[in-house]
Amino acid sequence: MVEICSETENMVEFKNPVACVMQRSDKGPVLGFMPWMQAGDGPFVVNKDKIVTTCAVADEVKNGYNQIFGAGIVVPPKQLIVG
């Protein structure tokens, strides 16, 4: 995951990149984050022809990332209200 700062036709500038890794816990495997680039603080620039893939991120993963780098706001899951 990363926060995109700016983008042109040929490059993407971003900050706070993390790699997602599976970790063991008492409750079984959980998703954790580790720094993507430990030698720099960013922002980082990557040419678009070097990007392998992009994807939408699950809300649970987004919430974990926002707790670390964002305002700490966690979006609750959407639920159907019945009554």
Q: What is the pLDDT of residue 80?
A: 65
DSSP assignment of 63-74, as one string? Answer: HHHHHHHSS---
Q: Look at the block and give the residue holding tokens 């919430």.
A: 63
Q: How far apart are CA 49 and CA 35, in angstroms?
A: 23
Residues of the chain scoring pLDDT < 50: none
**DSSP for residue 37:** -
Residue pLDDT, tens place only, 30-42: 888 888 877 777 7
DSSP assignment of 15-27, as one string? Answer: ES-EEEEEEEETT
CB of 61 closer than 8 Å to CB of 33: no
Q: What is the pLDDT of residue 75?
A: 65
Question: Model-level pTM?
Answer: 0.67
3-class DSSP state of 55:
coil
